[in-house]
């Protein structure tokens, strides 16, 4: 962008539109404070001045900041849950002339495609001292754009929209921005522990819970010493990918191979998978108590595999007292894969690895496990003592740069 264009457009800044947070009534300030903290943490590599407006957070950048840096700030903050829209905007003087000049330059900067599109102008006048009302400003700017570029006006379904927001001290001018993640600020709903496999489902479940305000830790069960470390590397890569939504993520790993060997030796092949799942949940509950998490999260989807029938899910719930959250319970595989693709975890999940579940794959698995039968297996295994041993073997894998 030329110096002349920059001068006409003013100074770049980023406007963040809040979604569900604005509905929180008396608790709204707590959610907004958490959101501002999360934004500050996400933008620690940038110099920004965060200012709260009604339903909007404005990020002001140092004078002379390049458009490339402003775009990088907008892209990074679009990954922070709690925001529904992120707009790279231009701060201009509070005069109709400055607003009109900026709108003309903004369309010019968008290139030939923008200069052939149907358009609309949407103004919002928060400061009633501004000399023009919103509809008057729309007509002034829209008429000038039409005269300059000959673009057709379409107020119902425009291909390009120029937004103008008249605030107390300045006016913001911008076009369509980036979609946000929506939901609630991470940390506003407590802390949970995600049972993280190397598959497609659990990363999506983790993401969905982060969007509901939970800060999550990740627990991976490795088949070590009977498998390689491949699954750990894969879990690490998935956690690193998800970390951009919350920051400061922690990955915990439990070597589970010997426990699986003990379950196999129990001779209950059809119940082995559910017995393993219950032992994982019991161990996860113990770990959750130690790290002060308040719930467990799994990627279960009703009926997707034999361990996820209603009867088997009930048998698993019975293993622990802690709540088990299953955000994917009503989704099918196609829906889960689509979301995994969107958040960038699908490609990692599809990489081959030697998962601990491959150690315990009977020909046929029980679809209606009975809790009393599972309790008998756990009694022979001395499950309560085994859970403590497994939790004691817990290892933390720190993310580089986090």
Q: Which residues are annotated as a binding site?
A: 195-196, 220-221, 277, 299, 308
Nearest alpha-carbon partner for 140 in 100, 102, 87? 100
Which pLDDT belongs to residue 158?
A: 92
Helix (H, G, I), strand (E, B) or coil at 333: helix
Which pLDDT belongs to residue 359?
A: 54
- Check if the beta carbon of residue 34 is closer than 8 Å to that of residue 188: yes
- Check if the beta carbon of residue 350 is closer than 8 Å to that of residue 234: no
> What gap in Å lies between CA 355 and CA 149, rounded to an integer?
60
In the predicted structure, residue 361 carries a pLDDT above the cut 70: no
* CA 378, chain centre distance (Å): 37
- Check if the beta carbon of residue 90 is closer than 8 Å to that of residue 9: yes
Q: Tell me which range, 11-15, 90-94, 188-192, 272-276, is most confidently predicted by mean pLDDT.
A: 188-192
Which pLDDT belongs to residue 394?
A: 96
Which pLDDT belongs to residue 115?
A: 62
pLDDT band at 2 (very low <50, low <70, confident <90, very high): very low
Q: What is the pTM of this model?
A: 0.91
> What gap in Å lies between CA 402 and CA 398, rounded to an integer?
8
In the predicted structure, residue 113 carries a pLDDT above the cut 80: no
pLDDT per position as a tens digit, 276-290: 999 999 999 999 999
pLDDT cut 90: percent of the chain above it: 73
In the predicted structure, residue 356 carries a pLDDT above the cut 60: no
In the predicted structure, residue 391 carries a pLDDT above the cut 60: yes
Mean pLDDT, the chain, whole residue set: 90
pLDDT cut 70: percent of the chain above it: 93
Which pLDDT belongs to residue 266?
A: 75
Which pLDDT belongs to residue 47?
A: 94
Mean pLDDT value across residues 189-201: 96
| 296-297/191-195 β-pairing | parallel
Which pLDDT belongs to residue 268?
A: 72
Helix (H, G, I), strand (E, B) or coil at 25: helix
- Check if the beta carbon of residue 362 is closer than 8 Å to that of residue 307: no
In the predicted structure, residue 89 carries a pLDDT above the cut 90: yes
Mean pLDDT value across residues 211-234: 92
Q: Which residues are annotated as a binding site for ATP?
A: 195-196, 220-221, 277, 299, 308
> What gap in Å lies between CA 222 and CA 331, rounded to an integer?
27
pLDDT band at 350 (very low <50, low <70, confident <90, very high): very high
Helices assigned H by DSSP within 176-326: 201-211, 230-242, 257-265, 272-291, 310-317
Which pLDDT belongs to residue 396?
A: 95
Mean pLDDT value across residues 25-29: 89
Q: How far from 291 is each of 216, 300, 396, CA to CA, in Å?
A: 11, 23, 12
DSSP class of 254: E
- Check if the beta carbon of residue 309 is closer than 8 Å to that of residue 303: yes
pLDDT band at 8 (very low <50, low <70, confident <90, very high): low
Q: Which residue has the higher pLDDT, 358 or 91?
A: 91
Helices assigned H by DSSP within 150-271: 201-211, 230-242, 257-265
Mean pLDDT value across residues 179-198: 96
Which pLDDT belongs to residue 24?
A: 87
In the predicted structure, residue 26 carries a pLDDT above the cut 90: no
Residue whose tokens read 């927001």: 165
DSSP class of 127: -
Q: Which residue has the higher pLDDT, 256 or 63?
A: 256
Which pLDDT belongs to residue 29?
A: 92
Which pLDDT belongs to residue 1?
A: 45
Which pLDDT belongs to residue 355?
A: 63
- Check if the beta carbon of residue 89 is closer than 8 Å to that of residue 12: yes
pLDDT band at 263 (very low <50, low <70, confident <90, very high): confident
Helix then strand count (H, E) for the chain reads 14, 14
Q: How many CA atoms lie within 13 A of 275 on its CB side?
A: 31
Which pLDDT belongs to residue 6?
A: 47
**Packed helices 272-291 and 257-265: angle between N→C axes, nearest 10 degrees:** 140
Residues 6 or more apart from 21 whose CB is under 8 A from it?
28, 31, 32, 35, 82, 184, 185
Mean pLDDT value across residues 91-99: 93
pLDDT per position as a tens digit, 124-136: 998 889 999 999 9
- Check if the beta carbon of residue 378 is closer than 8 Å to that of residue 272: no
pLDDT band at 341 (very low <50, low <70, confident <90, very high): very high
Residue whose tokens read 């201009």: 92
- Rg over alpha carbons for the chain, rounded to the nearest Å, is 26
- Check if the beta carbon of residue 315 is closer than 8 Å to that of residue 343: no
Q: Which residue has the higher pLDDT, 33 or 114?
A: 33
- Check if the beta carbon of residue 114 is closer than 8 Å to that of residue 100: no
pLDDT band at 358 (very low <50, low <70, confident <90, very high): low
Q: Which residue has the higher pLDDT, 265 or 344?
A: 344
Which pLDDT belongs to residue 5?
A: 46
Which pLDDT belongs to residue 112?
A: 57
């Amino acid at each position: 962008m030329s110096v002349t264009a920059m001068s006409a457009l003013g100074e770049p800044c980023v406007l963040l539109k809040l979604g569900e947070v604005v509905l929180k009534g008396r608790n709204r300030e707590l959610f907004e404070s958490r959101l501002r903290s999360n934004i500050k943490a996400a933008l620690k590599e940038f110099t920004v001045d965060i200012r709260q407006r009604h339903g909007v957070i404005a990020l002001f950048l140092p004078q002379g900041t390049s458009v490339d840096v402003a775009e990088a700030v907008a892209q990074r903050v679009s990954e922070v849950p709690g925001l529904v829209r992120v707009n790279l905007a231009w701060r201009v003087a509070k005069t109709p002339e400055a607003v009109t000049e900026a709108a003309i330059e903004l369309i010019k900067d968008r290139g030939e495609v923008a200069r052939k599109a149907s358009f609309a102008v949407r103004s919002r006048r928060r400061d009633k001292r501004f000399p023009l009302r919103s509809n008057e400003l729309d007509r002034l700017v829209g008429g000038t754009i039409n005269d300059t570029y000959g673009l057709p006006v379409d107020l119902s379904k425009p291909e390009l929209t120029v937004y103008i927001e008249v605030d107390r001290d300045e006016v913001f001018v911008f076009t369509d921005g980036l979609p946000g993640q929506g939901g609630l600020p991470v940390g506003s709903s407590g802390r949970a522990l995600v049972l993280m496999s190397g598959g497609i489902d659990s990363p999506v479940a983790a993401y969905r819970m982060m969007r509901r305000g939970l800060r999550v830790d990740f627990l991976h069960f490795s088949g070590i010493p009977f498998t390689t470390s491949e699954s750990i590397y894969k879990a690490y890569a998935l956690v690193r990918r998800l970390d951009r939504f919350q920051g400061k993520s922690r990955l915990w790993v439990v070597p589970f191979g010997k426990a699986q060997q003990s379950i196999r030796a129990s001779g209950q092949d059809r119940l082995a998978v559910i017995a393993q799942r219950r032992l994982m949940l019991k161990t996860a509950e113990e770990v959750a108590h130690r790290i002060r998490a308040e719930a467990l999260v799994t990627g279960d989807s009703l009926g997707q595999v034999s361990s996820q029938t209603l009867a088997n899910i009930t048998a698993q719930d019975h293993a622990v007292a802690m709540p088990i959250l299953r955000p994917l319970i009503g989704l099918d595989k196609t829906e889960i894969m689509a979301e995994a693709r969107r958040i960038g975890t699908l490609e990692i999940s599809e990489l081959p690895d030697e998962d601990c579940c491959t150690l315990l794959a009977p020909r046929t698995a029980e679809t209606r496990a009975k809790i009393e039968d599972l309790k008998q297996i756990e009694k022979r295994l001395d499950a309560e003592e085994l859970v403590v041993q497994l939790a004691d073997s817990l290892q933390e894998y720190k993310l580089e740069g986090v």
